[in-house]
Structures are given as C-alpha cells and as structure tokens.
A and B are shown apart, each in its own frame.
Chain A
Amino acid sequence: MSEYTETIEHIEGATTASFTKVWFVLLALTGVEVLLAYFQAPTLIMLTVLLGLSIIKAALIIAYFMHMKFERLSLFLTLFPMLIFCIVLMLIFLGDAVRIPAMRPPV
C-alpha cells in the first residue's frame, strides 16, 4: 500500500491577483443587490434576481476561495450533486406555503 504524501504544487490561476479580482466581483454583485433593494423591484423579480446573484457569489467563493476549481473533479462530484439534489427537494414545500394564505378562513 502506497503512502499518501502531501506536496504543495504551483496551481495555475490560484494567485493573489485572481483572489483580489474575485473579491472585487463579489463586492460589485453585493452592490447590485443593494441597489435592487433600494429601487424596490417587484417581489418575484427581486427574489429571482437576488437568488441568482447569491448562487453566482456562492459559486465564486466555492471555486476560488475554497479552491474547488483546483481540486479533482471526483471531489466535486462526490459532494455537490447530492447537496443540490437535497436542496431542490426542499422546494416541494413551497407550493404548500403558497396555498395556505388562500385556504385560511376570513377573520
């Protein structure tokens, strides 16, 4: 059985300049979110755009800050499809939440 040895390799793309760029992008996306809240876009549009931007921000953090972009694909495939599947399953409950206000007897 071979031993696992840790080696620190030079990873292309994992530079301080690229991390700073990602930080600026994250700040810019946060700025867009805050502007959206200031202009009070319709609820559904706002929710969709905010969630979309949050997913992009999360992806950037996972890919660059958490180094997932530089890991093996096998690690990503082991961890994330299951997580995304479970989160999507939770959406089932939201249909119920939409129906409840309509089902409530008038006060």
Chain B
Amino acid sequence: MSSQVSAAATSLWEGGRSPYAVNSKKFGMWLFIISDSLTFSAMLFAYTYSRVTNPDWPKPFDFSPAIIFSTVMTFCLLSSSLTMVMAVHAMNHGNRKAAAKWILATMAGGGAFVVLHLSEWLKLINVEHVTPFQNPWGVPLFGGTFFALTGLHMTHVVLGLIYLGIICTGVMRGKFKAEDVEVSGLYWHFVDLVWMFIFPLVYLMSAKVG
C-alpha cells in the first residue's frame, strides 16, 4: 500500500509535471478541435443521411468548371497549410520576419479560398437559383445541407483569417511567442482537414461528367 502511494506521488499524473508535455494553450486548442470535429462530423452525417434518403439527389457540379474550380480551392487550402507549417518552423527557430511572411502567405491562400468559394456560392444562387429552401432539381434538402455545411466551414476560414491577422501583427511587433503561432497553426490545419472531407463528399460525389 505504501509503495503504491509513493508511486503515485512520483508519477507524471501527480500534477507537478505536465503529463502531455504541451502547454495549456495548445492543449486547449486540441480540446476545441476535437469538439469542433464532432460538430462537423454530425453535419457531414446529416448531409449523407439526407442524400441516402433521397435517391433523386441532384448532381449540380459539372466537372468543368465546378469540380475544377473546387479543386483549385482545395489546392489553395492545402498550400496555405504548408506555408503555416513553415511559419511555425521559422518561429521555432526565432526568425520572426520569416514567420510573419509565411503567415501572410497563409492568409493569401485562405483569402483566395474564400473569394473562390463566395463566387461559387453566388453562381449557385444567381444562375442556378439554389437557396437553402428550394432549388430547380426538386430536392429542397440539397440547398439546406449544402449551404449549412459549406457556410459553417467558410465561417471557420474567415475566423481563421482574422485570428492569423492578429497573430501576424503581434509577431511583427515582437509580441507573441512560438507557441502562440503553433496554436494558431493547429486551428488552420483543422480548417484544412475538414475541407478534406467536404470536398469529396459534397463536390466529387455530386460531380456531373458530360
């Protein structure tokens, strides 16, 4: 019994040492990412459920230009993830100037994604007459699930851009530490990760060729 007590007192879980060896900001961001993953998972399942229950689900995305367009959006987001990794790497090596440049490049990628996504939305709304409540193809749930899912993701991207803007300004002024850039990077990669599921499930599964 006494040996068990002494083992507990010296264990990593005693509270004196960090069991995960990460700072509290990073751990907090991981917890947020896990909870947000469940939100997006539930929405993707709702989309899939709606689609399976409606065999006449529309296929509104022509391979050219809609799928090519969304592939370019994917490229922008993937590339912005790479530049974010470079920003974290530069910051870990104490190179604030390079880190700020890489964060700006990340923001450019994210900004391009939002602009392309909004133009795609506007085409669907103005040309195809798709709204969250009706569309010309007769399955109203398509618009509701499509705009909810992609809208929530785009909101995350826009919030990420604001977050990165604040971090970038701080880095340039010599305010934030490497861990702050890394935590913002975790958020940005998560936004990228979610798109890796939305792109195939929403766009590629509804692609129309010929």
Contacts and interface: CB of A to CB of B under 8 A. Distances in A.
**A and B associate in one complex:** yes
Interface of A: 1-2, 4, 6, 8, 14, 16, 19-20, 23, 26-27, 30, 33-34, 36-38, 40, 43, 46-47, 50-51, 53-54, 57-58, 61-62, 64-67, 71-72, 74-75, 78-80, 82-83, 86-87, 90, 93-94, 96-98, 100-101
* Chain A interface main SS type: helix
Contacts of B49: 93-94, 96-97
Q: Report which residue of B17, B41, B86, B196 has the largest number of chain A beta carbons within 10 angstroms of its beta carbon.
A: B196
Given A4-B23, A27-B75, A94 B48 contact: yes
A27 to B, nearest CB: 6
A61 B18 contact: no
Contact of B196 (A4, A54, A66, A83): A54
B79 A23 contact: yes
Contacts of B28: none
A47 to B, nearest CB: 7
A56 to B, nearest CB: 9
Contacts of A93: 45, 49
Given A16-B89, A65-B85, A97-B52, A46 B196 contact: no
Contacts of A64: 85
B86 A16 contact: yes
Contact of A38 (B20, B30, B209): B209
A8 B193 contact: no
A90 B41 contact: yes
B124 to A, nearest CB: 18
* Chain B interface main SS type: helix
B108 interface: no
Given A27-B78, A90-B41, A4 B17 contact: yes
A107 B177 CA distance: 64
A47 B205 contact: yes
Given A27-B75, A27-B78, A97-B52, A71 B21 contact: yes
Interface residues of B, number: 58
A19 B92 contact: no
B4 to A, nearest CB: 20
Contacts of B203: 37
A58 B193 contact: yes
A23 B30 contact: no
Contacts of A40: 207, 209
B133 interface: no
A50 to B, nearest CB: 4
A61 B71 CA distance: 18
Contacts of A80: 34
Given A34-B71, A87-B37, 15 more contacts: A2-B16, A16-B86, A33-B200, A34-B204, A58-B193, A61-B193, A65-B84, A66-B186, A79-B34, A86-B41, A90-B45, A97-B48, A97-B52, A100-B53, A101-B52
